[in-house]
């Protein structure tokens, strides 16, 4: 058997959970939340302590066995006994930059999928707004201008081909909603598995240039890994159909910003909807702010009134499993980066 960092980490976890007692730090100053979490470990040897600030967290974690909270490098490096970190987010690139996590000595779990439906709704909102030129009409409304002359590049989704790059939880939810608009859906997925019934074709990463040429709408929904950093560069964007639309709801660093700006200016890309950009926050002098064919939302694609509670539900279930010595949900594979 080959002992990968993930397997080594899981073995460490299994040994560690037998230790007695176990102390977990929860990065929350809400006493009601802490009591709610304690109900999940009633009768176990797990004790929970709260930390309402980073200063408190860095002090409390020194002798802790686990942490439910942010991937704060100072705190995690101070926690000499840590063997499990549960983060409340989906993206884990900052977590994986911490040596103890990257090397597999600390098990990392996150909360993917819980907000996939919200991300999909946001993506469809961007697609409809850009395709139907809603920002142009908002500008006309603001100026009090009634004009029945449509803006350039008004497009319909009906019958068009949508390429989703990163057909994971978010990407699959996007595809499910796009089918309601009678789009033909193709996707790219690194791990090949069962194809969703509403997706026409699922290709491998090496097929990306060819599939980009077939798409009227391209959505990036990939996590940030070594392979996806700078993925959408000038060479790949040159494969897009002239007049196609591009949307990024994955990670900003997956796109070379200057190359995207050039493709928008040349007309190669008719319009873009960007929930994530590089860098973040986007500088005020970036041309993207004033381009009439670009719609920007400030990395809020997963925001809703349900977001926080959904995340806490997953974290509470993992806490319960931890106390029982059961397999944890959503363990991050440090080799893949997600």
Place of tokens 């999928």: 113
Q: Which residue did the predictor score with more confidence, 8 or 282?
A: 282
Place of tokens 């997956």: 254
Q: Cite the active site residues.
A: 251, 280, 299
Tokens of 119: 């991300």
Angle, vertex CA 32, rays to CA 26 and CA 38, nearest 5: 55
Q: Which residue did the predictor score with more confidence, 14 or 329?
A: 329
Model pLDDT for residues 158-204, shown as the tens digit of each residue: 999 999 999 999 999 999 999 999 999 999 999 878 899 999 999 99
Tell me the average pLDDT of the chain.
93
Model confidence, pTM: 0.90
- 116-296: CATH topology is Rossmann fold (3.40.50)
Structural domain boundaries in the chain: 5-113+306-324, 116-296
pLDDT over 90 (residue 2): no
pLDDT over 80 (residue 80): yes
Place of tokens 């860098």: 279
Model pLDDT for residues 285-334, shown as the tens digit of each residue: 999 999 999 999 999 999 999 999 999 999 999 999 999 999 999 999 99
Residue 75 neighbours by CB under 8 Å, 6+ apart: 54, 57, 58, 61, 67, 69
Mean pLDDT across 33-44: 96
What would be the CATH architecture of the domain defined by 5-113+306-324? 3-Layer(aba) Sandwich (3.40)
């Amino acid at each position: 058997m080959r002992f990968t960092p993930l397997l080594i980490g899981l073995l460490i976890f299994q040994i560690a959970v037998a230790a007695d007692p176990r102390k977990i730090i929860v990065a929350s100053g809400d006493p009601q939340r802490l009591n709610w979490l304690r109900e999940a470990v009633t009768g176990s040897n797990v004790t929970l302590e709260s930390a309402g600030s980073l200063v408190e967290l860095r002090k409390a974690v020194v002798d802790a066995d686990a942490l439910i909270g942010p991937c704060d490098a100072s705190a995690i490096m101070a926690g000499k006994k840590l063997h499990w970190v549960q983060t409340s987010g989906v993206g884990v690139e900052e977590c994986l930059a911490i040596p103890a996590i990257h090397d597999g000595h600390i098990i990392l779990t996150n909360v993917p999928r819980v907000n996939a439906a919200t991300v999909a709704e946001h993506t469809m909102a961007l697609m409809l707004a850009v395709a139907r030129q809603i920002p142009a009409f908002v500008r006309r409304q603001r100026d009090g201008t009634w004009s029945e002359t449509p803006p350039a590049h008004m497009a319909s989704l009906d019958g068009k081909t949508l390429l989703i790059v990163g057909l994971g939880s978010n990407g699959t939810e996007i595809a499910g909603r796009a089918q309601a608009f009678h789009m033909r859906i193709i996707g790219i997925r690194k791990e090949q598995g069962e194809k969703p019934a509403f997706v026409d074709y699922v290709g491998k990463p090496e097929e990306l240039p060819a599939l980009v040429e077939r798409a009227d709408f391209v959505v990036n929904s990939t996590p940030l890994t070594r392979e996806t950093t700078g993925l959408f560069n000038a060479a790949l964007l040159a494969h897009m159909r002239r007049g196609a639309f591009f949307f990024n709801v994955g990670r900003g660093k997956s796109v070379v910003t200057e190359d995207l700006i050039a493709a928008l200016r040349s007309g190669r890309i008719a319009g873009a909807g960007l929930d994530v950009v590089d860098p973040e926050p986007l500088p005020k002098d970036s041309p993207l702010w004033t381009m009439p064919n670009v719609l920007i939302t400030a990395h809020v694609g997963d925001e809703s009134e349900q977001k926080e509670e959904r995340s806490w539900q997953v974290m509470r279930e993992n806490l319960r499993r931890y106390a029982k010595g059961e397999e944890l949900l959503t363990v991050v594979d440090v080799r893949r980066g997600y």
